[in-house]
Structure 1
Amino acid sequence: MAQGGYVWWYVDALSEDGRQGLTIIAFIGSVFSPYYALDLSRDPFDHCTMNVVLYGERANRFCMTERGRDSLRRDASQIRIGPSGLAWDGTTLTITLDEVTAPIPSRVRGTIRLRPNGFTRDTFTLDADGRHRWWPMAPSSPVEVTLDAPSLSWRGTAYFDTNHGDTALGRDFSDWTWCRADLKDGSAILYDVRRRDGSTQNLSLRFAADGTRRDIRPPLPAALPPTRFWRMPRTTRSDDEVATVIRTFEDTPFYARSLLASTLDGEPVRPVHESLSLTRFANPLVQFMLPFRMPRRAG
């Protein structure tokens, strides 16, 4: 991995009733780390973290403790960062969590099992020079969530992807929006990127449940209101140029996660949506606040 580079594995899941969700991101080279940004060695292996977010009606938690290279263990089938990890046995991705929230400590501990029906074949470059790659590995899979702390269990569907880059996100991108939606057969993904040079990339993808790529009707731009507290801008796309926000899960100075209602490829859907502003992320005030939510530990 290049100095200043990164790789992450991303899972987001929503319960069958839509009342509870989670996001898990395992980072090597934590792209949102203030410590990594200031490290002159630019060693990605010394800036690893397991970001865990629970959101919904039953529980809300945020964990993002950064750890050094001595806390990283990995091989062809698993990765561990401190007390948490991801392991693949050929049929099931098992995620074990034992994390602590910040700034007010509380435990998030338990197991998530995701069983993909198949994997996609295509990897996409997000910038003109190919420094940032994205592979939406398993866009829609059954998932089981069993947590001891907080006491919580549910089933639903999950999305699993990975991103790999050779340099900091803020060097090449100013912002992006992304969303994924379950369809009757498989899923749809929209990924809209705005680069620092002013160029854009708009991906509209559809995959069957087994990962086979399918054609999709290109959706049209749809406006969304900004978030209530931080006024984070949000936009998306839909067949009829109409989308609404059902619930805002995360409202931060540079990132928002929401549950929407829209129409994609002729189907009414409820996409999980994110907006990221790397321009806002670079603001010195935001950088000052980050350590309060993203502490760094030696082990």
Structure 2
Amino acid sequence: MSADGRQGLTIIAFIGSVFSPYYAWDAAQDPFAHCAMNVVLYGERANRFAMTERGARHLARDAHSIAIGPSAMEWDGSGLTIRIDERCAPVPHAVRGTVRLRPQGLTAGPFTLDDQGLHRWWPMAPSSHVEVALDAPALSWSGTGYFDTNDGDGRLEDAFARWTWCRADLQDGAAILYDVAHRDGGGRNLSLSFAADGTRRDIRPPLPAPLPPTRLWRMPRETRSDDGRAAVLRTFEDTPFYSRSLLAATLDGQPVRAVHESLSLDRFRNPLVRLMLPFRMPRVLG
């Protein structure tokens, strides 16, 4: 998010695009055949969504970098540089420019999200400084951000029924909530607070806080906060199985603005939902 709260950006590099209908329909289940650089821009001047899926010949990677088609990420030991050159769908707007992320500190290691340890999540840099310089659309801003990694040994929809996640800046660091409902019952509730240098701190588990469903697709939303209250300031994404929102809440004793996501893997499994996805997620053959 930008420092003034008016612009937002999400970038995800996928090897094995977990929300890809093409991957779900592929009998070979080869993750390297389903790669994508997802770039989503939110703001008062421009909104963009780009997620073009590409095959293995469009992927290059080593210990410090990954390139998927014309876009790439590179880690230099102290920061991440992301060079974006993507095109939206179905309206072919360009998204092109450079993003630099500098973590204030790194955390100790990953968390497992399921009882079998098949799905792992590492909030590597909960507090980072971000500089955005885009040529298309013409936008430049700075703010705070977050850098994490996910990897797994099975389909998300086989392991989980749904989850909610949110992250908020604190005066010194960040708070992250991750609530996962397992497919076979039970779940995992993570209430995390990190100092700016990545040191984990104890946090009292916040209380459940109801949220209204999204307007278009009626996606259920819920979160947690110190006083059991939260408000939706803006809905960034309203899709049949996923929502992303900006919330006002209280965490770790502080009023915060949190980026929140709600995912329904029950909805994602619906064949009709998967048939809708290629309109926003085209695929380059080969």
Question: Which TM class, normalised by the smaller chain length?
Answer: over 0.9
Offset at 1:298?
A: 2.9
Looking at structure 1, the residues matched to 164 and 144 of structure 2 have their Cα atoms a distance apart, in angstroms, of: 21
Output one character per residue of 1:133-155: Cα deviation in whole Å (capped at 9) or x when no partner. Answer: 00000011010000000000100
Looking at structure 2, the residues matched to 23 and 115 of structure 1 have their Cα atoms a distance apart, in angstroms, of: 15
Q: Which amino acid aligns with 2:233?
A: I
Q: Which amino acid aligns with 1:203?
A: L
1:110, 1:148 within 8 Å by CA — same for their partners in 2? yes
Looking at structure 2, the residues matched to 55 and 251 of structure 1 have their Cα atoms a distance apart, in angstroms, of: 13
The percent identity for this pair of structures is: 74
2:106, 2:198 within 8 Å by CA — same for their partners in 1? yes
1:86, 1:95 within 8 Å by CA — same for their partners in 2? yes
Match of 2:116 among 109, 129, 132: 129
1:138, 1:161 within 8 Å by CA — same for their partners in 2? yes
Looking at structure 2, the residues matched to 53 and 164 of structure 1 have their Cα atoms a distance apart, in angstroms, of: 21
1:19, 1:58 within 8 Å by CA — same for their partners in 2? no
Within a 5 Å distance, the mapping from 1:175-186 to structure 2 comes to 175-186=162-173
- Indicate whether 1:250 and 2:237 are aligned: yes
2:40, 2:49 within 8 Å by CA — same for their partners in 1? yes
Looking at structure 2, the residues matched to 135 and 19 of structure 1 have their Cα atoms a distance apart, in angstroms, of: 27
Looking at structure 2, the residues matched to 203 and 217 of structure 1 have their Cα atoms a distance apart, in angstroms, of: 11
Q: Tell me the equivalent position of 1:43.
A: 30
Looking at structure 2, the residues matched to 174 and 224 of structure 1 have their Cα atoms a distance apart, in angstroms, of: 19
Q: Which amino acid aligns with 1:105?
A: P
Q: Tell me the equivalent position of 1:34.
A: 21
Output one character per residue of 1:268-289: Cα deviation in whole Å (capped at 9) or x when no partner. Answer: 0000000000111111211110
Q: Tell me the equivalent position of 1:235.
A: 222
- Indicate whether 1:20 and 2:7 are aligned: yes
Offset at 1:117?
A: 1.2
SS of the aligned residue for 1:15 comes to coil
2:104, 2:198 within 8 Å by CA — same for their partners in 1? yes
Q: Which amino acid aligns with 1:112?
A: V
Within a 5 Å distance, the mapping from 1:115-194 to structure 2 comes to 115-194=102-181
2:161, 2:265 within 8 Å by CA — same for their partners in 1? yes
Q: Which runs of 5+ in 2 are unaligned?
A: none
Match of 1:113 among 67, 87, 100: 100
2:105, 2:127 within 8 Å by CA — same for their partners in 1? no
1:91, 1:116 within 8 Å by CA — same for their partners in 2? yes
After TM superposition, the score normalised by the length of structure 2 is 0.99
Looking at structure 1, the residues matched to 195 and 40 of structure 2 have their Cα atoms a distance apart, in angstroms, of: 27
Looking at structure 1, the residues matched to 44 and 51 of structure 2 have their Cα atoms a distance apart, in angstroms, of: 21
- Indicate whether 1:62 and 2:49 are aligned: yes
Q: Tell me the equivalent position of 1:206.
A: 193
Offset at 1:59?
A: 1.1
Q: Which amino acid aligns with 1:251?
A: D
Match of 1:219 among 206, 221, 226: 206
- Indicate whether 1:100 and 2:101 are aligned: no
After TM superposition, the score normalised by the length of structure 1 is 0.95
Q: Which amino acid aligns with 1:259?
A: L
Looking at structure 1, the residues matched to 79 and 185 of structure 2 have their Cα atoms a distance apart, in angstroms, of: 41
Output one character per residue of 1:167-202: Cα deviation in whole Å (capped at 9) or x when no partner. Answer: 110000010000000000000000000011111110
Q: Tell me the equivalent position of 1:8.
A: none
